[in-house]
Structure formats: structure tokens, C-alpha cells
Structure 1
Amino acid sequence: MKFFEFEFYYQEYIMKKLLLIVILFLLFFIEVAILFLWLHPLSPLNKEVLYIGLAGPMSGPNQAQGLEMVKGAEQYLDYLHQTGGELPGKKIKLIIFDDKRDKDTAIKVASEIVFQKKVLLVLGHEDSNTSLAAGKIYKRNEICAITASAIAEEVTDKNEWYFRIIPGNISQINLIANFIRNSLKLKSINLISDKYSYSSSLINNFEIMAKKLGICIKRKWEFDSFNKKIDVLLKTIAAETSKFPEPIFCAVRSPVAEKLIPLIKEKNRNIIIIGPDSLSKQAFINALKSDTEEEFIPGLYSDRILAVSPLIAEIADKDAYLFRQSFIKKYKKEPTRIAGCYYDAMCVAVEAIKKAEIQGKGHILSDRRKIRLALKSFYNYQNAIRGITGRIFFNTKGNTSSPPFMGFYQNQRFLPAFVQYQPILDTDQIKDVFTKTLKGDIILSDGKLMIQSRVVYTGMYINEISNLDIINSSYTADFYLWFRYKGMFDETRIEFLNAMNPVKLGMPVKNTINDKNVTFRVYRIKSDFKEDFVFHNYPFERHKLQINFQHADMTKDQLIFVADSILNFSQIMGNLKKTQLIDADDWQLGEPSFYQNTVEKKSSLGNPKFFNNQYIISYSRFNATIPVEKKMLALFIFKIFLPVIILMLIICFIRYVMPGKYSGFSISVLAVLFIANMLFHLNIFLDLTVLYPTTVDYAHFSVYIMIVISAFILVLKNSSSEKCGKKIIEKILIYTGNIIFFIIILSISGLQLYIYAFKSSG
């Protein structure tokens, strides 16, 4: 008896020793892992920090602009983190500097940035005066700066270290003058300018362009906005404008325009006012909205105002649409233009750092030079950076080669004009260049040939979705499709890219032309469409029904679709029902969204000069997206996972509750559970018929593993051996199996929760 007691205590002693060794080994392993994560240069927790500076007005009266700069830049860093686009082993961090929009402060900030020897390059400054002041410091100390707001030509002129990703003064003026002459067909205009440097530069360039294009300047008013009697001067100018009915080019800053334009409109509400980018800023329209008259009658002062802008969300690509969605989600408000532009500025900065292949810590000076060379390498359309404002590449002066957009106000919203100008990438692909130049369809702007592009406002009203077949990814859509445009446009040549059969528009159900020469045509379409649904997250499934089309003949330099969000279609057509989903009682539709994006194709076009480097052909594509998801999604998910949950509960009961003497019976039950799991799994496979694993597949895989481990542990427990060592090994294996068992349960539960909470929300 004593011998057996001794043997029992000896086994227990050995077991405790072995467990202690295992625990010490695990602790040692964890410690080594922590040291690796903390010290090793390849560790994800030990990334080298790369600093990008952002300088702007973070305090004072212009603080709002500075904060928008920060939001835009940080939004791109968030995007980079979410999409895994960060540099391997490196982390980019933003350092913010406050220049108070003051030249002297800007010089101090620039000096601090340079001598800290931390910042690789700078984003900013917000306005031209601070950019010019700081630019001298950056040039002298060889550090690049990228502005997305300062438009004075002097900022980048003779400063090879300063880059601008938005069109400068000359690009703006060239577009405005050509738009006045060739699109509005005006031969005369009046001018209003401020003696402030911003205004004087614009007016001087405009007068030169007006003379070249044969535009007569009837009257010119000039004032000093810093004059103590400025309000009296503005009232006097406004009163005089009523005697001159010609449109006005108003080259003034936003704070001045906010006061002047209501005064002019009170005298003549139908007068056309054309302005630079200062009139397209959010601050300008916000100030007009605060006016009692404009607030009571939206558009009273703002309608019939045209202006240029480096970014108009409605005309931009899908990236701009996604940026807007994520910005609203994060900040609960619409992004401003400056936020969008500094999103692009950060994008350019990051891409330059990637291309520069910098060495990092201890090589700041050489890395700054490499970044400049990288920025210089983005010099044409083919190797441009794709931003939300379009493709960004620089000319020899460090200015973007992309033109600004022309827009107009309607009901306090700034929208794209019906005519835009796009750069011509290759004149060999343009027919009748000489004739189009004479007609004004092709213009020379800032040394670049540009062609007139038609903007077609396009909208869709979904009447019903039927024949929804999720497994085969097909559905029938019944919808109204409308177009609003000026001039000639053949909408019957559009091609639906995901239609199962060719779609013919037929005769329009509505066809009108208003007094502004805007054509409005509506078509009713019913057709079958196909979409490749993805089931990776099944049963946490939310799908997107899409309808997209592009013009068969007109490329993007000729045609740009714009989602028409301003038209009240229901009011025009009347008696429109809410979108219905027919014959799919267990599914429900979400709110549809509409946007345009650019589709690019590469082709040699049969031209030998493009055989080695193919030509990029771009088309504007209109997209409608309708989310669809299961009704009572949580209940559906529970129903799909119910067999897995029951099987796991039975396995746990066998493992932890069933007495050991019934181990033979338990193993038999596990075999039955294995077959049951196979049948449930096979049933799901036959329903989906997809060739890749889904979330529910992983759950069933986990059940297989749990059954195998449980059976293995039961066999070990049931086996008998006289050798003490073997029993110890058996116990270790049992403990290991239990640990793996719990890890599987926690992992699969955590995965399902993660997918339900995050993935399915997209």
C-alpha cells in the first residue's frame, strides 16, 4: 500500500515539476517575443517614425482653414493605415506648426522646421504671402514644401524646392478668360479688383488674356480693402455697376466678396459675376448663407455666380466620393475644398517618400534631396499620382499640370459648369485640331493645349428590383434614367457594362429644353443585370447591386458624367413610389448612391509610337449602387450558426461533464457529431457553390478540429499503461489539447464578432 502511495506522490511531484518547466518555458518565450517586438528593427512595434510637417494658421481669424488642412492630411494617413499602404518598417507622423497666417511667424516656423532636422518635407503654407516668406528658408536649406492652397505664381517660380498641387493664378485666369469668350460667348466684361497683391496679380493677367481673346473691358473699378471707408467704397461701386449690364469679373478675396456681392445683387439680381477660387471657398458661401435675405430665399445672391476651383466633388472620381464618405463618418460634416486638397498633398508627399527610397535615421539631409528628385520624377500623365483632384504631376516649375474646374452656384451649392476643359495628352488622337481651335473647342492655357469637355448631369430613380438571385448574382432593375446637358449629346450611344443583354433607351418619356438651353430627357428602362457578389463573409452578408454605363464613343476629354443630386425628380415626374424589392421577402434594399469614376484602358491605337508604351484612354463611367441585405440579419446569422453552436455545446459536454467511464460511448457520439457536421457543411456548400472558404466554413472547420482533439484526449484517458513516464506524457498531451481547445473556441468566437461588428458594416 505504501509503495502505491509513494508511486502516486512521486508521479504528482514529477507532474508539478514538468508543469513548472512548461510554465517557465512559456514565460521565457513570451519575454523573448516582447523583446523582439520592442527591439528588433523588423518588429511591427518598432517602426521608424518619419515626420512630415504641416504649417498653417492654427490660431487666429483663419484658424478654420488651418484645421481643415490638418483634417485632410490626417484623413489620408488614416486611409493609408486602413489599406496597409504604409512603408515597411516605417510610420509617418504629422507635426503641426502654427504660422498664424503671418509672414514673420511663417519665417520663424520655417526656421524651426529646418533646424529641428526631423521633418522630411512640409505641407503648406495656407496662403501665398506666408508661403513666399517661408519658401526662402526652405530653398536655402534644401527642404521640399508642397502647397495645396497658395496660388501666387511667385511661390514656385525660381524655387525648385516648392511644389504646388493645385492650379496657380495663371491657370485660373487662362481658364476664366477662355470660358468667358468661348463658352459664355461674351465679348465684353467689367472688372472689379482690390489693390491687395492677390487681386492685382489676377487682374493684370486677366487684362493680358482679354486682349489676346478680343474681350473688351467696359469698366474697371479698383479699391483698397484696407481703407477705413471700405464699406462706403463698396456701396459706391455696387451702385455704379447697375449702369453697366455686362457680366463682372470680380477678382477679390473672400472677405471682401462677402460684403460686395450682396450689394451688387441688390441693384441687379440677374447680373452674372465671375470670380477666381476665392469665390468657390466654403467660407464665402457660408458668409452669404448668414445673410438674412439669402437665408430666406436660397440663391438670391449666390445664383448666377461662376468661379473656378481645384476640386469639385461632383466631377471628381470615386476616390473623392469615398473620401467624402469617410470624412463625413469621422467628422460628422461635409469636407471643405481645402481638406480635400491637403488630402492630396499628403498623398503626394507619401508617394514621394516611397519612391525616394530614403535611408532614414541619420540621413535627413540626403533624404530631403532624394524626396525632391522623387517629386520631380512625377512629370507626365503616365507616371502621375492619382489623387481625388485627378492625376497629379508637375511641370518644370513645380506646378501641377492639371487644370482647375469651372463651377456655378445653384441653391447655395457649388456645382460643375456644363463645359469644362481637359488637357490634350496627344494631339495625334484629336481630329480636326485646327477647326476646333478656331471654334474655341481647343484652347491654349498655361502652355498646354486643352479641349472642351461636355458635362452631362445624370440621374437615376430606381422603381423596383425584381428577380433577385443572390447565388447567381443577377437581378432585374426597373428605373428612370435622365440626362441634363447643354448643346448636342447622343445619349443613345451609352453602353451598360453589366447588363446581361444590350440595353436600348428607346423613346424618352420626357423631353424638354428650358430658357437656358438646357436639354432634359428622361427614359424608362427595365433590364437584367449581373454583379459578382462576394461571399467571403457569409452569412454576415451585405451585397451591392450595381448599374453602370459609359459612352461608347466619347472619351473623358469629351464627356464627363456628373451625378445629378440637385434635381428634384419626384416633383417633376409626380406620383413616384418608393423603391420596391419584388419577390424577395427575406431581403431589403438600402439607400442608393450615385457617382462617376474614370475607367482607363491601355492601347497602342494602331500607332507605332505607342507600341512600347501604350496610350491611356479614359472614359467617364456613371455608377449606381444599391445596398441589399438580409432582413433580420442577426436572426439569419443565428440560424446559420445554430448547428455549429449545438455541436460545440455537445462537444464541451462530452469533454467536461460526461464521466470518464463512458469514454467509449463518448467517442461514438463524437463520430456521429463529425458526420453531422459534414452534412451541415455540405448543405451550405451546395447552397452557395463558391470555390473559396467563407466565414461559416471556418466555423465548421473548427468543429472538425474540436472533435478530433476531443477524441484524441478521450483515447489517451482511456488507455492504460504501467509506465509512469508515459502517463506523464499523456497528461501533458491532455493539458495541451485543452489549451488548443479553448484557443479554437475563443478564436472562432472572436472572428465572428469582428466580422459582424466591422466587416459586415461595409
Structure 2
Amino acid sequence: MMQPFFHSRIFIFFTILAAAGLVLYFGGVFQAWGETHIRIAVAGPMSGKNAHVGLAMRRAVAYRVEKMKERKDPLAGRIEILVYDDGNDPARAEVIAREIAERADVLAVIGHHYSSVALSAGPVYKQYGIPAITASATADEITRDNPWFFRNAPANSFQGSIIANYVSHILTAPAATVIFDRDDYGASLARGFSLEAEKLGLAIKNQWGFDTTAQDADALLESIPHWVIDSGDPGIIFLATHDAEGARIVATLKHFGRDFSFIGADAIASENFLTALEKLPQERFRKGYYSDGIHAVSSFLPDTANRTAQLLGHDFMERYGEPLSDIDIGYFDAAGLVIDAIGRTLSQAAPPERSNSMKDRRNAIRKYLSERTDPGNAYRGSAGEIYFDIDRNLAKPPWIGRYQGGRLLSAPVQFQPVKAWIGIDNPLEEILAERIFLVNKQFLHRLQVIYAGIDVNAISDLSVENGTYVVDFYLWFRFPGEFNDAGIEFVNAVPDEGSTGPLTLGEPIMAHTGQGVTTRAYRVKGKFKGEFDLRDFPFDEHRIEIRFRHKNHTLDKLIYVPDLRGMRGGASRGADYGFPPLGGWQVTDVLFHQDALENNSSLGLPRYFEQNVRIEYSQFNAVVRIARQSLRFIIKSLLPLFFVLVLIYLSYFIRDFSSRMGLGTGALMTVAFFHLSSTTNLQVYYLVALEYLFFLLYFSTVLSILAPLIIEYHQRKADRDAAHIPVARRIAGNIDRSGRIGQPILIVLFCAWMFWLFG
């Protein structure tokens, strides 16, 4: 009777265990089925000549959701993206907007691409009360007087004002010529630039407009460069045009052989602008032949990207084979903001959430977006903070880029919002000295760009247990004007043995000044501390980091950007970075990026005691990502454990009790010894991945010890009672068969689980 009872208990136990696992595993699926889908519409040019832009919009939104799924965000499984093709056609956009708005299950709209298209769709969204956000349509009228439309990009009037101030104060040009498209996009840019130029006393020599829909558009585009030549010195030429027309004008004027200065709006910063120029033979022969020296504004520049945007850019390159564009990151962040609004409003909804009407849920999302009005409650996107002005436009000024070698890099001077007046004793003096500007009712700092570069020579003395390492590297700064690099502070440097103080730059090994730009280079060797997480040991990956900032200059006055053109390997993944490999480790990537180091302090000034004053410093980060060569470590350090598993398995083929007990207890002591020796030095309070292997070994060895004990118990009972002999034989046979079959299955399942977790 014992054997059936014994087997029935085991069967019931494993049945309950399997049922519990199924409930836990599929519970989320059943729950998701019981909840409503969250539907978001993406509207853009999915066909026609701008279909590539529509593809970028769609994939950016989809990738945003995919990243949520990677983080196991429960909201991600409920999101459904509905794609609509407006063909960049205003009439078609109005029809599509009405189709979207009349659906009872769409919470928000992300799109459209062109200003004229968004202007056509906007009134429909306003009429039906559905929130929409664009990251590319920049005409002011889109969001003005429409509380349902938001923009993750600066409005054209703001762009025009920024450009006029940059031309007047930074480039110090006395005059300008405006060439503009007469559509909503170009006309509003030209108007914003001209109004601000008049306030600044910047002379407008000529303004020439064209209509791309007119029959004589080609003839007019051919004539405008000749008019520029005939007018004498045009000053700086402001291109308030789309990318293709801007490229055509630049190329035609370049053919005349004169050296013209250009500055353009965000369309001139797009990949399409460069693509149009690359079709010309001179540009193919020498990259940058047409574009070098042109200034353009953009909401995103790769060299100003923080770590999040850098990693996103690498992910995009690996997945799509294309660099991250302003469209990609603009709509990626727009989707993130919309989803954040949906998630927060759902969490605040009265249960059950389905009882709330669609009208109420849409209005709650609109209200949440409308409340993002300052840096203090901004949404932290990959390209930085997103907060809106009174007309729901991105309130941050755009970056100013300058083409060099066919790439748009940060210009030496930028504008940055004045987030706090702490440390500014005389604002009027700062304004008169042109260190602070008033643009569109917003105060902006004059921001100095410091191009910083690091070439690593060697990494040594890596101690994963202590999180320390020694790095020998070249560091240089390139800048116009003045920069006190003696104030550089290495944030994560730690004192080395024999050191008498904090790590400093020392004397420069090279200093050079030419054409108003100074370069100073140093050789630095120091000990640094990283934040190493060993939970994945021995499949762990870590970051070797060098971080520095200026002790006195805050982010509103100075920003570091990686000197990608000058560094070894630049921004290319998989390049030869020029330093010897670390033993037992593989370099998987090298990143250079800037971000903000934040402190909240009133600095003891009474007028700031009740305020949330945020002081930010620009911090430069050089990151070498390394991965442990796990297979080599396992073979070198854990090979004896493989033989332990083999011996445990062989024990199920041995009949002798003493031999089996000897194998089991010996295996247990061996596992314990290796466990202690492998993990003691790590000095961590949490479990590491390797310990799961030891838990498997402990489980296997304990079973290998229990098996002969059970067999021996029944064998002795059979010695006293002959009737028990068949039972003892069956139990011994069942245990041995279970061990011979079960242990390999257990090992295979464990290996599959580890491969799923760590690849």
C-alpha cells in the first residue's frame, strides 16, 4: 500500500505546482483580455515622396512601446497603434482626422508631418476634443487657439526669433537676406525672423518668396540665386524653406563661386537636406562641399545627446541600419509623453476605469499635457525635458548646429533658458553685456560650447569587487574665447596610493590657438570608481566611466559636447579604440556623452528659501562598456563542478550504499568549497547568477544523498521481512530510474533558463 500512496502524493503535489505556475504565468494574459485596449493613432505620410518620414514616425512610436515591453511595463501589452496615411495632403488629412476623432476607442493622435496638413486636421481634433501632438509641423497657427494640439518642437515664430538673435548677437552680421517658401511653414518663419530683426536693428536687404505649387515654381527657384548675385552683398542668407528647395538654392549659389553665409530653420537640419546635396557630384567627391559652414537650428543634435539618447541611437543603428534622426527622437519622445499622460490619468481614474467616458479620458490627457509648463514638472524625454509655453509649443530653444565634414555639429555658442536667477546679482548688467537675451518673452543665457575629447591609452588594475580601476588617457578641450580648465573636477575619481590630493589635469602637453579657437591637451592617469552591479555574475557587464564637470560654471553658461570628429573611433560602434584589451573581459562599446549633474540648494540666500532651486552642471562622460568572457571564466574556474555533476549522475548506477554516500557527501563538500571560494570575494549582499548554479548543485547532491538512504532503509526492512523484498526492489529501481532521467532533464531546463536570462 505504501507505493501507491507514495506515488499519489507526488502526483498531487506536482499537479498543484503546475497548476499554480499556469495561473501565475497566464494570469497577466487573462487580466489583459479583461481590460480595454489603449489605442493611439499615428497620422503621417505613409505613401508618396515623403513615405520615409511616415515610416520613421510609425517606427519611433512602435519602438517606444517595445522599450516599455522590455521593461515589463504592464501598460505596454494594452497599447495598440493605429496607423493612418495622410499623404501630406491637407484635404486627405481632414478626412482622416474626422475618421480618427469619430472612433470611440482612440485616446490621442501623434502626427502630422507638414504644417499645412496639421492645420487642416487641427480644427477637427478641436471640434471632437481629442488631444494631438506633432514633433515636426511647426507653423504657429497649429497650436494657437487650439487647446487640443501640442507640439514637441519650437514654433516657427520662436525659431525665427532665435535665428535673428543668433545672426545679430553671435554671428554679428549687419544684414540678412530672406528666401522663403510661401506656404504656412516658410511664411511664418520669415515673418518671425523679420519682426525680430526689426527690433534688433538687423537690416533685411531683400526678401524673396516662392510657391512650390505654382506653375512657375521651377523658374522662380532658378531666378532667385541670380537675384541674390545681382543684389550685391546679401549679408547672411536665411533659408525659410523646406529641405529640397533649400538644398537647390545652396547648390546653385555655390556654383557661382562666391562664398555665401547661410543659416536655416529645422528643415535645413534634416537628413533630407543632406540627401538632396549628396546627389550632386561635387558633394560625392568631397563630403561637405556644399553644406560646410551652414548654420541650422534643430531640436536634437547627436553630439549634445545624453546617455539615454546615445543608447537609443545605437539601438536604432543596429535595428534599422540608420542613424537616429530628429524625426525619430522627436516622435519617440512625443509617444513617451502621450503614453505617460495616459498611464497617469488611468491611475487616477475612478475604478473601474471603463466607467469613465471617452470624452472624460481624452480631456484628462489634454489637461495633464497642459500642465507641463516648466522644467520643474517637465517630462524627461530622451532628447531632454519637454515642457510647453502658453500656446502648447516646446518652450526650450532649439540647438544651433553648424555643418562640418557633412555632419551637423553643435555651433560654438548656444542659447539656454534661464531656469534660476541664483548667482545673477545684476540681471540688467548681464543683458547689457549680451550674456542674457530676451527672446519671445523668455530669458536665455549665452551658452559656451566646450568640445571635449578623450582617447583612452590603457585600463588597468580593474577590481570588480571594489568597483575601482585605473585609466590612462589623453584629454583635450577645444573652444573659442576663454575657458578656465583649471576648474575641472573628476567626479568619480578616488585617491590612489601615494596621492596627496584630488586628481588634477596638471600641465598641458599641447596648447594651440588659431582662427580664434584654442586647443589644450593633457595626459591624465588616475584611479576611478564605478557602480558595478554583480547580480549577473559571471555573465555581468559593467561600465568603465570617466566623469568630469567644472566646479564653478553651471549648465546655463557652459556645456561640454564630445569632439566626435577628433576622437579615436569617433562614435562608431565596433571601431578600434586603440587601447590593449583587459584580461578576461571584452570591450563591447565606447560612448561619449554629456548630461546634467543636478543639485537642489538655495546656497543660503533667503529669497530662495521657499523655492525649489535646481543648480545644474554640465558633466562629460566617457564610458567603456565591458562584458566578462563568461565561457572562459566557467571553463577555468568551474570545470571541476562539471565532474561533480557527472559523479552525482553516476551514483544512480551504483548499488553499494557506502560508495554512493561517499560520492554524495564528497560532492556536497566540493560544491560548498567552490561556492565559498567563488562568491566570498564579491562582498555583495544580494544573490548573483552563479549562486543559482550552486543551488542546483546543492539540490542534486542532497537528492543523491537521500536516494541511498531511502534505498538502504527499505533494504534493511526487507532483511527483517522477506515480504518487503519486492517493494524494496521496486523503490530502488524507481529512484535510480528517476535520477538517471530526471537529472539530465533538470540540467537541460536550468541551462535553457540561464540562456533565456543571459543569452
TM-score, scaled to structure 2: 0.90
Q: Which residue of 2 aligns with 1:760?
A: none
2: CA distance, partners of 1:412 / 1:222 = 27
SS state of the match for residue 597, structure 2?
Answer: strand
Q: Which residue of 2 aligns with 1:6?
A: none
2: CA distance, partners of 1:474 / 1:36 = 41
Q: Which residue of 1 aligns with 2:45?
A: 57
- Residue 262 of structure 1 aligns with an amino acid whose one-letter code is A
- Which of 159, 164, 178 is the equivalent residue of 1:172? 159
Native 8 Å contact 2:175 2:234 kept in 1: no
Cα deviation, 1:30-80, whole Å, max 9, x if unaligned, reads 678757866888746766421111111111111111101112112211211
Native 8 Å contact 2:590 2:622 kept in 1: yes
Deviation at 1:470, TM superposition (A): 3.8
Instruction: Report 1:619-698 matches (<5 A).
Output: 619-629=617-627, 633-655=630-652, 657-659=653-655, 662-698=656-692
Q: Which residue of 2 aligns with 1:281?
A: 270
Q: Which has the higher mean CA deviation after the structures are superposed, 179-188 or 711-720?
A: 711-720
- Which of 609, 612, 615 is the equivalent residue of 2:613? 615
- Residue 678 of structure 2 aligns with an amino acid whose one-letter code is I
2: CA distance, partners of 1:28 / 1:682 = 35
Q: Which has the higher mean CA deviation after the structures are superposed, 40-49 or 600-609?
A: 40-49
- Which of 700, 705, 711 is the equivalent residue of 2:705? 711
Cα deviation, 1:685-731, whole Å, max 9, x if unaligned, reads 34434443322222112211211122223222221357999989979
Native 8 Å contact 1:75 1:327 kept in 2: no
2: CA distance, partners of 1:225 / 1:735 = 84
2: CA distance, partners of 1:497 / 1:337 = 31
2: CA distance, partners of 1:75 / 1:93 = 12
Deviation at 1:195, TM superposition (A): 2.2
Cα deviation, 1:423-481, whole Å, max 9, x if unaligned, reads 11223442331112112221122221111111111101112223334443333222111
Native 8 Å contact 1:537 1:694 kept in 2: yes
Q: 1:737 to 1:366 in 2, by over 3 A?
A: farther
Q: Which residue of 2 aligns with 1:452?
A: 446
Query: Which runs of 5 or more structure 2 residues have no equivalent in the other structure?
Result: 496-501, 571-575
Q: Which residue of 1 aligns with 2:603?
A: 605
- Which of 338, 352, 357 is the equivalent residue of 1:349? 338
Q: Which has the higher mean CA deviation after the structures are superposed, 500-509 or 147-156?
A: 500-509
SS state of the match for residue 138, structure 2?
Answer: coil
Native 8 Å contact 2:158 2:192 kept in 1: no
Native 8 Å contact 2:116 2:184 kept in 1: no
Q: Which residue of 1 aligns with 2:544?
A: 545
SS state of the match for residue 521, structure 1?
Answer: strand
Native 8 Å contact 2:57 2:327 kept in 1: yes
- Which of 202, 221, 243 is the equivalent residue of 1:215? 202
Q: Which has the higher mean CA deviation after the structures are superposed, 532-541 or 419-428?
A: 532-541
- Residue 646 of structure 1 aligns with an amino acid whose one-letter code is F
Q: 1:26 to 1:667 in 2, by over 3 A?
A: closer
Native 8 Å contact 1:269 1:301 kept in 2: no
Deviation at 1:262, TM superposition (A): 0.3
- Residue 754 of structure 2 aligns with an amino acid whose one-letter code is Q
2: CA distance, partners of 1:713 / 1:199 = 83
Give yes or no for the alignment of 1:291 onto 2:288. no
Q: Which has the higher mean CA deviation after the structures are superposed, 398-407 or 734-743?
A: 734-743
Give yes or no for the alignment of 1:117 onto 2:119. no
Give yes or no for the alignment of 1:76 onto 2:71. no
Deviation at 1:120, TM superposition (A): 0.8
Native 8 Å contact 2:584 2:632 kept in 1: no
Instruction: Report 1:374-453 matches (<5 A).
Output: 374-453=368-447
Q: Which has the higher mean CA deviation after the structures are superposed, 382-391 or 351-360?
A: 351-360
Q: 1:24 to 1:695 in 2, by over 3 A?
A: closer
Q: Which residue of 1 aligns with 2:573?
A: none
Q: Which has the higher mean CA deviation after the structures are superposed, 95-104 or 740-749?
A: 740-749
1: CA distance, partners of 2:147 / 2:136 = 18
1: CA distance, partners of 2:296 / 2:167 = 11
Q: 1:180 to 1:735 in 2, by over 3 A?
A: farther
Native 8 Å contact 1:540 1:637 kept in 2: no
Native 8 Å contact 2:540 2:627 kept in 1: yes
Q: 1:36 to 1:554 in 2, by over 3 A?
A: closer
- Residue 60 of structure 1 aligns with an amino acid whose one-letter code is G
SS state of the match for residue 580, structure 1?
Answer: coil
Native 8 Å contact 1:493 1:553 kept in 2: yes
Q: Which has the higher mean CA deviation after the structures are superposed, 225-234 or 262-271?
A: 225-234
Q: Which residue of 2 aligns with 1:255?
A: 244
Give yes or no for the alignment of 1:512 onto 2:509. no
1: CA distance, partners of 2:580 / 2:105 = 58
TM-score, scaled to structure 1: 0.89
Q: Which has the higher mean CA deviation after the structures are superposed, 356-365 or 51-60?
A: 356-365
Q: 1:312 to 1:734 in 2, by over 3 A?
A: same
Deviation at 1:20, TM superposition (A): 7.5
Q: 1:563 to 1:543 in 2, by over 3 A?
A: same
Query: Which runs of 5 or more structure 1 residues have no equivalent in the other structure?
Result: 1-9, 572-576, 758-762
Native 8 Å contact 1:709 1:737 kept in 2: no
- Residue 714 of structure 1 aligns with an amino acid whose one-letter code is P
Deviation at 1:360, TM superposition (A): 4.3
Give yes or no for the alignment of 1:193 onto 2:180. yes
Native 8 Å contact 2:116 2:185 kept in 1: no
Cα deviation, 1:534-575, whole Å, max 9, x if unaligned, reads 32222224432211101111111111111111236799xxxx
Identity of aligned residues (%): 30
2: CA distance, partners of 1:38 / 1:540 = 29
2: CA distance, partners of 1:174 / 1:389 = 22
Count of matched residue positions in the alignment of Structure 1 and Structure 2: 733
Deviation at 1:309, TM superposition (A): 0.7
SS state of the match for residue 378, structure 1?
Answer: coil
Native 8 Å contact 2:568 2:577 kept in 1: no
- Residue 755 of structure 2 aligns with an amino acid whose one-letter code is L
Cα deviation, 1:147-173, whole Å, max 9, x if unaligned, reads 111101111111111111111112101
- Residue 550 of structure 1 aligns with an amino acid whose one-letter code is R
1: CA distance, partners of 2:112 / 2:188 = 19
Q: Which has the higher mean CA deviation after the structures are superposed, 69-78 or 79-88?
A: 79-88
Cα deviation, 1:227-282, whole Å, max 9, x if unaligned, reads 43433333332123232251111211212112111011122442110111110111
Q: Which residue of 1 aligns with 2:747?
A: 745
Q: 1:482 to 1:11 in 2, by over 3 A?
A: closer
SS state of the match for residue 382, structure 1?
Answer: helix
Q: 1:550 to 1:36 in 2, by over 3 A?
A: closer
SS state of the match for residue 180, structure 2?
Answer: strand
Q: 1:159 to 1:462 in 2, by over 3 A?
A: same
SS state of the match for residue 377, structure 2?
Answer: coil
Native 8 Å contact 2:157 2:191 kept in 1: no
Cα deviation, 1:373-405, whole Å, max 9, x if unaligned, reads 211222221111101221111233222211111
Q: 1:156 to 1:585 in 2, by over 3 A?
A: closer
